[in-house]
Amino acid sequence: MIVCPRCGSGLSEVDAGLACPSCRYRADREQGIVLFEPDILEQHEDYKSEDLDVLYSHEREHPWFTHRVKVILKAFAAYVAKTEDILEVGAGTGHTALALLEDGYRNPSIGEIHINGLLHAKQYGLDKLYQFDLRSPPFHEHFDVVALFDVLEHIADDKLALRNIHGMLRPGGRVILTVPAHRWLWSRIDELAGHHKRYNRKGLVSLLGSAGFEMLESRYFFTALVPGLLVRSFLSRKATRETAEKGCGLKVSGLGNLLLRLAAGPGDFLLAPLRRIIGGSLLAIARKT
């Protein structure tokens, strides 16, 4: 059910949007996007809208993003039917949701706090577009799967975020997420990217359990990138907002691209026995209980 983020009542379809019969709240639909929180600031404390424009310029070809998509698609193949209703929260430009659509998933929806990200997603051909704040979501038991990829670390109250996701899922629904791994890999780049923390398996299992989920699978990936991330944590100590894009590795040379591809793909395969103990990122799949 799509509900009012103010009072929780069910919303009704009206001309060019949705309206609450109880408190007169209204969510207008503009350019195919349902706007639940249109006054969100571009410089939002969790994520700045300008960063989505940077992502849109790089993520389709960048080895880090292409390998992460492969990891995500493998997880979906194991746990999600093609016909299930999926919402990607904090979907950015819709790059990952597009990969799901191209892989045969019929019902992906996009949730994003910033309108410019949803406009990028629209250019990809995605059409179920919702602008909202995860801290007051407009859905109740509406989806079979909620996904968030490198989003949770941007939210100060990650427990609240996961509890809200729990409420958005139907009984037996699943959450699939990725997060940056290991506190000892924390760097100045994390600060500039708006991260609040990095996670380990034990802590994430506990966090999901406290929000009403049981873990189905959790493992690290980008294991071969760990030495490079550790070096980055030292070299980036004086990084600034202006140098963050380069420091995050979004702009890399041809040789850098090759090395990233080798580390992300073959490197992850060769170091598969270490997936339970170390990696640059962490994947988790959990079921609503």
Which residue, among 18, 287, 14, 46, has the nearest Cα to 139 in the 3D structure? Answer: 18
Residues in the chain, total = 289
Which strands form 169-180's sheet, in the order they lie side by side? 12-14, 17-19, 26-30, 33-35, 129-131, 107-112, 85-89, 143-149, 169-180, 281-288, 213-221
d(CA 31, CA 16): 10
The stretches in the chain having pLDDT less than 50 are 246-249
Dihedral of the CA atoms 271, 261, 120, 96 (nearest 10)? -30
pLDDT, mean over the chain: 90
Q: What's the pLDDT at 238?
A: 79
d(CA 95, CA 93): 6
Q: What's the pLDDT at 243?
A: 61
The answer to whether the predicted template modeling score (pTM) of the entire model surpasses 0.75 is yes
Write the CB contacts of 172 (distance below 8 Å, at least 6 apart in sequence).
287, 288
Q: What's the pLDDT at 251?
A: 56
Which residue, among 90, 87, 124, has the nearest Cα to 108 in the 3D structure? Answer: 87
Q: What's the pLDDT at 258?
A: 74
Question: Please, are residues 139 and 2 in contact by the beta-carbon 8 Å criterion?
Answer: yes
Distances (CA, A) of 151 to 5, 134, 163, 266: 21, 11, 15, 26
Q: What's the pLDDT at 153?
A: 96
For 213-267, what is each residue's pLDDT tens digit?
999 999 999 999 999 899 988 888 877 766 655 444 455 556 666 777 788 888 8
Q: Structural domains in the chain?
A: 1-27 (no CATH), 31-288 (3.40.50.150)
Q: What's the pLDDT at 42?
A: 58
Q: What's the pLDDT at 247?
A: 42
d(CA 18, CA 14): 5
Pairing of strands 129-131, 143-149: unpaired
